Structure 1
Amino acid sequence: MNKKINFLNAALVLISLLVVFITVVFSIQFFSEEIRPFFVSCLFVSFIVSVLLGFRVLFLLAKMLRYIKKSEAFSMKTLKVVSAIKKTILLISIAFLGILPFFYTVADRQDAPGILVIGFALVLLPFTAFIFSQIVEELFKNAAELKTDNELTI
């Protein structure tokens, strides 16, 4: 079990390093342009907000892994962390709405409406993760209630 937790912690660190690298490259590209259209600025702001909220999710996942390592997986503390992850993912999905002007402009210039569908799909990805996190929160809530009921009967 300890090896799995360490592997998951290493995966979180690797993911965060990859996100930092992509953010630095994207920021250098954004700030190297002299003229920035509005839709590119919306894309950049949306990207930065999403990255910051994503790091909050990564921090909360690391916190949850620490609880699992201490054998407190189905406690109220873990339930609070899952709830915070759910709220943060909802904020990420709202922040992703800022990429739609970019996709609309590109689709309009290229006369390719399929590009706008790709933009909508990218916006719906975090929303899908939000729905999944709601399901996980309910599962953790039921497991925590069952654990407390089980502890009271013993």
Structure 2
Amino acid sequence: MKRETLFLKVAVFLIGSPVLALCLFWVPGIVGDRSILDPEISLWRYPVMIGLYVTAIAFFMALFQSLKLLSFIDKSEAFSELSVRALKIIMTCAIIISAFYVAVLPLLYVMADSSDAPGIIVIGLVILFASTIIAVFAAVLKKLLKNAIEIKSENDLTV
């Protein structure tokens, strides 16, 4: 099992690295430059940064929980309440990200309209739909895992 989970752990790190780089370098730069170019948006500078960092924290919490889930698989503890809890946290983080982007889409529309850049809206929609799909997938996996744990405990009591 270690080879398969090693590949997935590396994939999790490869997914998290660019997001961390964006949070450290791109977000402060783009928000600062954008507010200089467009004074109307300068009011929104700090709320946008705070919102992006809140979604980044939720994203990294979900990545950490996925690493925990992979370690449970390595230890042959995949069918446990700890795995269900990790999936629940992943689902909650995805819902937080989705809710934030639903709330921010009108602001993204205003920003895109003022700078004539419709790609901003597309990026927001992609993040929204991806996090919604992840939330639904985690909910389905959580339900399946709970059912499997119940069946396993019934079989253990039968023997």
Q: Report the TM-score when normalising by structure 1.
A: 0.82
C-alpha displacement of 1:86: 1.2
C-alpha displacement of 1:10: 1.5
Moved over 6 A (4+): 110-115
Shift in CA distance, 121/38, structure 1 to aligned 2, threshold 3 Å: farther
Q: Percentage identity across aligned positions?
A: 31
Counterpart Cα distance in 1 of 2:20 and 2:57: 10
Q: Which structure 1 segments of 5+ residues have no match?
A: none
AA in 2 matched with 1:64: L
Secondary structure, counterpart of 1:71 in structure 2: coil
Aligned residue for 1:64?
69
> What does the per-residue CA deviation read over 1:84-117, in whole Å, with 9 as the maximum and x for residues that have no partner?
2111211121222353134211443367889757
Q: Say which structure, 1 or 2, has more relative contact order (CA 8 Å, 6+ apart).
A: 1
Counterpart Cα distance in 2 of 1:45 and 1:121: 20
Q: Report the TM-score when normalising by structure 2.
A: 0.80
Q: RMSD value over aligned CA atoms?
A: 2.7
AA in 2 matched with 1:58: L
Aligned residue for 1:139?
144
The 8 Å contact of residues 46 and 95 in structure 1, kept in 2 or not, is answered as: yes
Structure 2 matches for 1:1-154, cutoff 5 A?
A: 1-30=1-30, 32-33=32-33, 35=36, 36-109=41-114, 116=121, 119-154=124-159
In the alignment of these two chains, the number of paired residues is 154
> What does the per-residue CA deviation read over 1:27-50, in whole Å, with 9 as the maximum and x for residues that have no partner?
341464364534454433222111
Shift in CA distance, 31/43, structure 1 to aligned 2, threshold 3 Å: closer
The 8 Å contact of residues 89 and 130 in structure 1, kept in 2 or not, is answered as: yes
Q: Which structure 2 segments of 5+ residues have no match?
A: none
Secondary structure, counterpart of 1:24 in structure 2: helix
Shift in CA distance, 28/63, structure 1 to aligned 2, threshold 3 Å: same
